[in-house]
Chains A and B, each alone.
Chain A
Amino acid sequence: MTTTAKTPTEILADAEAAHRAVAGAVERRIIICAGTGCVAGGALAVRDAFAAKLDTLGLRVTIALEYESPAAADVYLSKSGCQGFCQMGPLVTIEPEGVLYTKVQAEDVAEIVQTTLMGGDVVERLLYVDPRKREHCRSKDDIPFYQRQERTALKECGSLDPEDIREYIALGGYHGARRALCEMTPEEICAEVLRSGLRGRGGGGFPTGRKWELTRVQPGHEKYVICNGDEGDPGAFMDRSLMEGNPHAVIEGMLIAARAVGARTGYVYVRMEYPLAVKRLRRAVDDAHRFGVLGADILGSGFDFELKIMEGAGAFVCGEETALIASVEGKRGMPMPKPPFPAQSGLRGKPTVINNVETLAAIPLILRTGAEAYRARGTANSPGTKTFALTGHVANTGLIEVPFGATLNEIVYEIGGGVTDNAGRITDRPFKAVQIGGPSGGCLVGEHADLPLDFDSLGSVGAMVGSGGLVVMNDTTCMVSVARFFMQFAQNESCGKCVLCREGTRQMLALLDEIIAGDADETTLTVLEQTAQAVKTGSLCGLGKTAPNPVLSTLHYFKEEYEAHVFDKRCPVGACKALTPPVILAEKCIGCGLCVRKCPVKAIAGEKKQPHVIDHQTCVKCGVCLDACKFGAIVQGVAV
């Protein structure tokens, strides 16, 4: 593709026209969600089944729009990025009707083709059923999960073919970059982003425009832009979905950032667990080069920008910006004290902008529609929308996007469809806690159900937006175990550089283990809290500074639960094995007496051939009887 004689507007208009012409020539489009969740559920087999079935009917099928040699096809079998409704995948949308089928398997394809494509009817059994109203939902717009969301960053993720740059352009892509490169000065770009109020989505919520301006004013010509795609929070996958579902939005955001600060080289640092994201980004970078929106003299503006993709190697701390920079330099990913900030001295000692994936993906929209339009959503101090990974004990798990200021009630009940029990059924019991912000975050409880969620309100209740993982927990969850889980994570991932984080997380983990094992005494909780405060104050980087948060937050809201473990040696929900005496299931016990003989403290009694019972006062919970019983009649870890 040559870019010589055309103006930037023409280049983009041509791509758009090409897309419209080729896409318009195809009668039908079948969109198959090819996000990780749906692929795991068999989406690719579904696609193959469609291709085979349509082929036997003599229909011409294409799996990618052919621009070089447009041959008219009857059906365009396109794939999309994650559509968010992972629980119900694989998802298949039939256009132009917009019918959405859920949990589609290869065996269902023949019926879909017959009934919908040929007959113009819907296959009712594959439609989503709203569990509240018990109604079938024909399209996305009828499903409460989607109705209550406001998808902007994720809007295109569910329909766009992530490997088709022309479709991205046809939907308005690279127009923001064109405006930034051809019509604005770097100073104006920074000012516009600052005016939009966009705050970093990587956790800290630092105003992006300010960060860019700080970098822009640094002297020197060698500067860098880095996209932080490390997404370390276990239980979050928004960045993954964006990189997989709309890679060009990330690239365009980086291009605009580069122009704003004067960087010539950029890096996308992607977690190694995300191979598909790497593949899609690489493809997108190649396509962007061919279209002249990356490389030399971009869109004829005289501006050059190169982009490199780098895979991480499995270290949570590399999500921290200074550690990430060390990793890009080929070193161990250990954080450095700040200041100097990366904006002053980052990669190879040069000024560096480092932004989260979601932050960068919001940039094209801001440049395209303007700062004011962006501010129209969200709250005054946290404008715009935020994606969350909604997981745990909730009916509709998946990826959601809501404006800042949405409440937990809206998210858990209206979008999430309600709390579920351990078997996955919707229950009437309220959630016990919602963990937000991953290992650095805290928990929200019933009293926060109507709190408008944004950076400041969450900070004020000891939690944080963090990356945006929202883990709903029902009332069978032991909060001490949850705290232990996060502490184990932090302890594993502590890089070992500073003493307080390295030793403090180890100490806290040991204390939590004592509590769970029933070995804690009256001093344990005090020591735990003191250690937590010390680690919070004295650690070098954000990992250590925030690692105590889950402990402090659960201690605050669930003090009685800790005390029950410590003083009564009892786990109120019966999750901690060592604190829950074994019980004999009367219906399974045949009264053989083996456990009576094996019990070292003579806590079990009973008539022969009659169900036995355990005296919980005498029992030391050693578990010998569990191993002894041949009939599976003794269980431990269930509430008594």
Chain B
Amino acid sequence: MRVEEKQTTVDRETGSQTIGRSFEKVCEILDHHQRNPAMLIPILQAVQAEYRYLPKEALAYVATSLGLPPARVFGVATFYAHFALSPKGKYVIHVCDGTACHVKNSQGLVDAIRKRLGLSEDKHTTDDMLFTVETVSCVGACGLAPVAVINEAVHRQVSPQAGVAAIEKILESEEQA
């Protein structure tokens, strides 16, 4: 793939670090994994942990450094649900839609949260980059269904009202900040 100049500016606008710095970090990550192509998934996980998503040029850079065809790296990055190719919001809300949560009305919860934030099944991130709302299949807390995870903190037995209340609380704290 060609790394286009245009792409770089787009990413700058969306608030990620500048490309020069990102390569430095990516290099560190690659070295940490001995530039071993078999470690592609852990490498991408580390890159994503750094930037909250996988910038396109970082993927191209990883491919070149590991001596892999870029298609292979993109193939892996798009195959796994965990990898995001576009930036995520500051607060990532994972609403569980596993079986246990589903039978306890997780759909109502997702609908309520999406409605509050003006999001939909196709639009996951708010324009101000504050919230990303996604559904996941089971976070392993099924005894507490329905469950929502906001930036790694697990919330239990979340009714649609409680979900919206949690969002209001975040909005409030953001306004104060």
Contacts and interface: CB of A to CB of B under 8 A. Distances in A.
Interface of A: 36-37, 39-41, 86-87, 89, 231-237, 240, 271-275, 310-316, 327-333, 389-393, 397-399, 422, 435, 438, 469, 471, 473, 477, 482, 485-486, 489, 493, 495
Given A477-B103, A485-B99, A41 B80 contact: no
A471 B143 contact: no
Interface stretch (B9-17, B37-45, B85-93, B123-131): B37-45
Interface string B59-84: 00000000000001001100111110
B155 interface: yes
18 contacts: A37-B144, A37-B154, A234-B96, A234-B98, A237-B143, A273-B136, A310-B41, A311-B41, A313-B45, A313-B83, A314-B136, A331-B40, A332-B79, A389-B142, A392-B103, A422-B105, A469-B99, A477-B103
A428 B44 CA distance: 52
Contacts of A236: 138, 140, 142
Interface of B: 37-42, 44-45, 72, 75-76, 79-83, 96-105, 136-145, 147, 152-156
Contacts of A327: 41
Given A392-B103, A469-B100, 9 more contacts: A37-B141, A237-B138, A237-B143, A312-B82, A329-B38, A330-B39, A332-B75, A422-B105, A435-B99
Interface centre among A234, A236, A471 (most CB of B within 10 A): A234
A240 B140 contact: yes
Contact of A273 (B101, B103, B140): B140
A316 B138 CA distance: 11
A152 to B, nearest CB: 20
Contacts of B75: 332
B100 A389 contact: yes
Contacts of A399: 143
B99 A235 contact: yes
A315 B137 CA distance: 10
Contacts of B38: 328-330
Contacts of B147: 40
A36 B137 contact: no
B138 A397 contact: no
Contact of B103 (A232, A240, A393): A393
B158 to A, nearest CB: 10
A498 to B, nearest CB: 15
Nearest to A317: B79
Contacts of B141: 36-37, 40, 86, 237
A612 B100 CA distance: 38
Given A393-B103, A397-B145, A477-B103, A237 B140 contact: yes
A235 B100 contact: yes
A432 to B, nearest CB: 11
A78 to B, nearest CB: 21
Contacts of A274: 140
Contact of B138 (A86, A234, A392): A234
Contacts of B39: 330
Contact of A86 (B41, B72, B83, B144): B144
A87 B99 contact: no
Nearest to B99: A235
A310 B81 contact: no
Contact of A471 (B83, B103, B154): B103
Contact of B143 (A313, A315, A398, A422): A398
Contact of A40 (B83, B102, B104, B155): B155
B104 A235 contact: no
A273 B139 contact: yes
Nearest to B142: A391
B81 A313 contact: yes
Contacts of B82: 272, 312-314
A397 B143 contact: yes
Contacts of B156: 37, 40-41
B149 to A, nearest CB: 8
A272 B83 CA distance: 11
A468 to B, nearest CB: 11
Interface centre among B81, B97, B98 (most CB of A within 10 A): B98
B37 A330 contact: yes
B43 to A, nearest CB: 9
Given A273-B139, A329-B38, A438-B99, A391 B145 contact: yes
Given A313-B45, A330-B38, A391 B99 contact: yes
B142 A397 contact: yes
Contacts of A312: 80, 82
Nearest to B38: A330
A471 B101 CA distance: 10
A393 B136 CA distance: 21
A599 B96 CA distance: 37
Contacts of A237: 138, 140-143
A412 B156 CA distance: 22
A86 B157 CA distance: 11
Given A39-B154, A327-B41, A330-B38, A235 B143 contact: no
Contacts of A315: 79-81
Nearest to B77: A313
Contact of B45 (A36, A311, A392, A471): A311
Contacts of A471: 99-100, 103
Nearest to B97: A234
Contacts of B101: 235
A237 B98 CA distance: 11
B140 A314 contact: no
B159 to A, nearest CB: 11
B143 A37 contact: yes
